[in-house]
Structure 1
Amino acid sequence: MQREMRRSDRQLAIEEAKEILTKAEYGSLATIGEDGYPYVVPVSYAFEDSSIYIHGATEGHKLDNINFSSKVSFCVVGDTNVLPSKFSTEYESVIVFGRASIIEQEEKLHALECLIKKYSPDFMDSGMKYIANDKHKTTVVKIDIEKITGKARR
């Protein structure tokens, strides 16, 4: 599938990579278009089990690309600390490879609930009402994770 990590001494255990994926605030989704160009877009997301959920508009570049090719990459950066005097940075990051698909019905509702739990946990009741009223205005993409790697310099 992909190359092995060059700096394997910085590779994280899968469970630690999943912790970073859970706590990171946003991620970057990479898709490939029919024209052969990559497209990377920052997105809000929720991670659960072996899936990443992303919501967005009902049309656009991201969806066009996913309809062309379901193969995607997703990246998050966790904690960082610039070390100016060492000309370096402490960091933690995760890269995921997987397949993206548009989800509907109960799975879509579950994904939207996961997003409310992550970003607005103190507003679950009003968030669920929002979902009930506006679910038709959003598309939910599910990434089924095929490979996950984490890397850190601490």
Structure 2
Amino acid sequence: MKRDMRKTEREISKEEAKDILLKGEYGVLATISDEGYPYALPLSYVFADDIIYIHGAKEGHKLDNINFSSKVSFCVVGDTKVLSEKFSTNYESAIVFGKAMIIEGEEKTHALKHLIEKYSPDFMVSGLKYIENDQHRTTAFKIEIEKISGKARR
């Protein structure tokens, strides 16, 4: 986690990296299993209050891994454009290292509201009702960010 970026000329500011997190549609969460294997999966998320919030099922590989080790990495790729003639790509990305933890109560409700605001803003009323009636069917997590970095070729 403490490695320096190899191509420092491509490093972007923390604020630019946060902007990529804010506007991204999905991210890839990487966890580690009790057998030592990495597990990475794409998922929807929201970045709010300098925290990444995600939700998921009440059981499964992701939950097992987070219960084994809270250390995670999370990556979001922003705008990209393949430059065929240059055998290259313009891109922007943000990577976060942090600790994931299950959240409950008001914090869980807060996270789920942010997810609805991001993905279903035209359906807030029904979304809030959904949270009220069915939040017991989902697990909510937060990733407390320990390090954030970003990289771009534009």
Structure-1-length-normalised TM-score:
0.98
- Verify: 1:57 aligned to 2:57, yes or no: yes
1:88-109 C-alpha deviation (Å, 9 max, x unpaired): 0000000000000000000000
- Verify: 1:39 aligned to 2:9, yes or no: no
- Verify: 1:140 aligned to 2:123, yes or no: no
Q: Distance in 2 between matches of 1:97 and 1:128?
A: 30
- Aligned residue for 1:4, secondary structure, equals coil
Structure-2-length-normalised TM-score:
0.98
Structure 1: runs of 5+ lacking an equivalent = none
Query: After the TM superposition, which residues 116-135 of structure 1 pair with which residues of structure 2 at under 5 Å, given as runs?
Result: 116-135=116-135
Q: Distance in 1 between matches of 2:128 and 2:5?
A: 41
- Verify: 1:149 aligned to 2:149, yes or no: yes
Query: After the TM superposition, which residues 64-143 of structure 1 pair with which residues of structure 2 at under 5 Å, given as runs?
Result: 64-143=64-143
Structure 2: runs of 5+ lacking an equivalent = none
The 10-residue stretch of structure 1 (125-134 or 107-116) with the greater mean CA deviation from structure 2? 125-134
- Aligned residue for 1:135, secondary structure, equals helix
The alpha-carbon deviation at position 49 of structure 1 amounts to 2.2
- Aligned residue for 1:98, secondary structure, equals strand
Q: Distance in 1 between matches of 2:121 and 2:16?
A: 23
- Aligned residue for 1:77, secondary structure, equals strand
| Aligned-residue identity in percent | 71
Q: Distance in 1 between matches of 2:2 and 2:114?
A: 29
Q: Distance in 2 between matches of 1:84 and 1:130?
A: 46
- Aligned residue for 2:25, secondary structure, equals coil
Q: Distance in 2 between matches of 1:31 and 1:58?
A: 17
The alpha-carbon deviation at position 2 of structure 1 amounts to 2.3
Q: Distance in 1 between matches of 2:15 and 2:62?
A: 29
- Aligned residue for 2:3, secondary structure, equals coil
Q: Distance in 2 between matches of 1:112 and 1:11?
A: 32
Q: Distance in 2 between matches of 1:34 and 1:92?
A: 32
The alpha-carbon deviation at position 11 of structure 1 amounts to 0.6
The alpha-carbon deviation at position 133 of structure 1 amounts to 1.1
Q: What is the RMSD of the two structures over their aligned residues, measured on CA atoms?
A: 0.6
